[in-house]
């Protein structure tokens, strides 16, 4: 069995362990689920590294490599947050999300092909890594928004953090989403800016309204709206509870945009003009 399949299975096991932990809430299960996810992260990282060594270039030159790397970043960002905030149920969905990304990767052409000259740049390295960390954070924010929307009708204020954690006050899922977006947004901005600098070096123009560039701007603007609406809605007599729902829904929509920017651009009629779209060639 290939490593990628083993990784998928461990992700699934981690996801089950997180659900079990949510039901029993014992300290033992906590370490099992966390351990499984760390294990799958290591496996995923192995995939990234072996691929990089095998191909002889940074492991994100085509869609397959990017997706594997994206999956890796998503768990990495999740683990940071779990370490800091000690989540509960978020881990189950986060590992499912990562598993889906990795599964989607297995459907792609994994042929190693030589990279084109424009991709040989250190700016590209920073550009992709920052972007992937940003996207990873938005993936987690997507998960927390789902949890927020699903749990909202049941409890008064479902808490994301177990009370057992010393010193931290409980935090609700909508605020948690905001914190995660706040973590990811600088990465997104850095990714976009480094991308522009790289484009200037490679193609002579930092911005040429290429579909990929335009959609990355759309993504950035969408999250910018998310960051600014809390200032607007209270002035429009929208109450707090309604506002949280609107923002959570907006985050779901934003993550859709992220995915479209990442893998969906091939469906655009203007895709053939783009220099960035993952080609079939």
Partner 1 sequence: MKNVKKNQPVTASETMGNQGERTQTTQPERKDSNVVWDFFCSVKLAVVIILVMVVACIIGTVIVQEKTLDEYMARYGYGFATFLRYTQLTNVFYSYWFSFLLVLLCANLICCTIKRWRNTFLQTGFILTHLSLILILLGGVIKFQTGVKGGVNVYEGKTVNYFLTQQLDRNGKLDYIKKDLPFSIALDDFILEKNEPKFQLVSFVKSSDRQKALEIKVGKKQRVPGSDYKVFIKDYIPDAELKQEPVNSSDSPNNPAVYVKMYSSDDVLAEGWLLANEQNFYDDKKLNLRIEYLWKSSQQALDKAATSVGNETPMVSVAISDWMQEYPLELNKTIKIEGSGYAVKFVQYAFNYGDKRPLEEQPPENPAVLVEINGPEGVESRWVFEKFPDWDKMHPARYKEVKITCSGFTSTRLAKNTVRVLQSPDGKRTLVHISDGKIVETVPWELKKKHAIAGTNRQVEVFDYYPSFDFKREVIRKSDEVKQPAVLVELDGPQGKMEDWLFANSQYATWYKDKNFALVYEATGDSIKHFTSKLRIVENGQTVAEKTIRVNDPLKHRGYAIYQSSYDPEAGQFSGLQIVKDPGIPVVYSGFGALCFGVIFIFYIKPFLRKKQKKGVEE
- Determine if 25 is a binding residue for partner 1 (CB under 8 A): no
Tell me whether residue 94 or residue 137 sits nearer to partner 1 (CB atom): 137
- The string over 199-221, giving b where at least 16 C-beta atoms fall within 10 Å of a residue's C-beta and e elsewhere, is beebeeeeeeebbbbbbbeebbe
- Segment contacting partner 1 by CB under 8 A, of 19-27, 37-45, 84-92, 173-181: 173-181
Report the residue from 16, 110, 151, 158 that binds partner 1 according to the rule CB under 8 A.
110
Report the residue from 153, 204, 239, 241 that binds partner 1 according to the rule CB under 8 A.
204
- Determine if 218 is a binding residue for partner 1 (CB under 8 A): yes
- Segment contacting partner 1 by CB under 8 A, of 39-47, 76-84, 155-163, 222-230: 222-230
Minimum Å gap between C-beta 96 and partner 1 is 20
* Eight-class DSSP state of 235: G
- Segment contacting partner 1 by CB under 8 A, of 69-77, 83-91, 149-157, 224-232: 224-232
Neighbour-count burial of 240, counting CB atoms closer than 10 A to its CB (0-12 exposed, 13-18 middle, 19+ buried): exposed
Which residues, 6 or more positions from 51, have their beta carbon under 8 angstroms from its beta carbon? 59, 65, 68
In terms of C-beta distances under 8 Å and separation of at least 24 residues, what long-range contacts does 257-265 make, across chains too?
Answer: 257/215, 257/218, 257/219, 257/222, 258/135, 258/138, 258/139, 258/219, 260/215, 261/212, 261/215, 261/216, 261/218, 261/219, 262/66, 262/70, 262/135, 263/63, 263/67, 263/104, 265/211, 265/212, 265/215
3-state class of 172 per DSSP?
A: strand
Number of shown-chain residues binding partner 1 (CB under 8 A)? 61
Minimum Å gap between C-beta 266 and partner 1 is 12
- Determine if 53 is a binding residue for partner 1 (CB under 8 A): no
Tell me whether residue 178 or residue 262 sits nearer to partner 1 (CB atom): 178
Minimum Å gap between C-beta 233 and partner 1 is 9
| Calpha distance 94→36 (Å, rounded) | 13
- Segment contacting partner 1 by CB under 8 A, of 67-75, 145-153, 158-166, 229-237: 229-237
Q: Tokens 């950035």 — which residue? A: 220
Q: Summarize as ranges the residues that interact with partner 1 (CB under 8 A).
A: 2, 5, 106-107, 109-114, 116-118, 120-121, 123, 175, 178-179, 182-183, 185-186, 189-190, 193, 196-198, 200-207, 209, 211, 214-215, 217-218, 221-222, 224-225, 227-232, 234-237, 268-270, 273
């Amino acid at each position: 069995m290939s490593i990628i399949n083993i990784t998928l299975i461990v992700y699934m096991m981690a996801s089950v362990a997180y659900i079990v932990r949510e039901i029993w809430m014992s300290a033992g299960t906590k370490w099992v689920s966390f351990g499984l996810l760390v294990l799958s992260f290591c496996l995923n990282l192995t995939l990234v590294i072996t691929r990089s060594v095998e191909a002889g270039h940074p492991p994100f030159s085509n869609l397959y490599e990017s997706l594997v790397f994206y999956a890796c970043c998503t768990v990495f960002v999740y683990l940071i947050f779990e370490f800091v905030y000690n989540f509960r149920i978020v881990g189950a969905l986060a590992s499912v999300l990562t598993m889906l990304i990795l599964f989607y990767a297995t459907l792609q052409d994994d042929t190693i092909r030589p990279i084109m000259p424009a991709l040989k740049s250190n700016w590209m390295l920073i550009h992709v890594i920052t972007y992937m960390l940003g996207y990873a954070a938005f993936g987690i924010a997507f998960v927390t928004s789902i949890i927020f929307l699903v749990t909202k009708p049941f409890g008064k204020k479902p808490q994301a953090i177990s009370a057992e954690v010393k010193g931290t006050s409980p935090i609700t899922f909508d605020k948690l989403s905001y914190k995660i977006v706040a973590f990811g947004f600088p990465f997104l901005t850095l990714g976009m800016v480094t991308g522009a600098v790289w484009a200037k070096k490679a193609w002579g123009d930092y911005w040429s309204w290429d579909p990929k560039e335009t959609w990355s701007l759309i993504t950035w603007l969408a999250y910018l709206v998310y960051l600014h609406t809390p200032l607007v809605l209270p002035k429009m007599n929208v109450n707090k509870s309604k506002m949280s729902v609107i923002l959570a829904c907006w985050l779901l929509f934003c993550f859709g945009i992220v995915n479209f920017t990442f893998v969906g651009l091939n469906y655009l009629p203007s895709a053939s003009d783009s220099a960035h779209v993952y080609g079939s060639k």
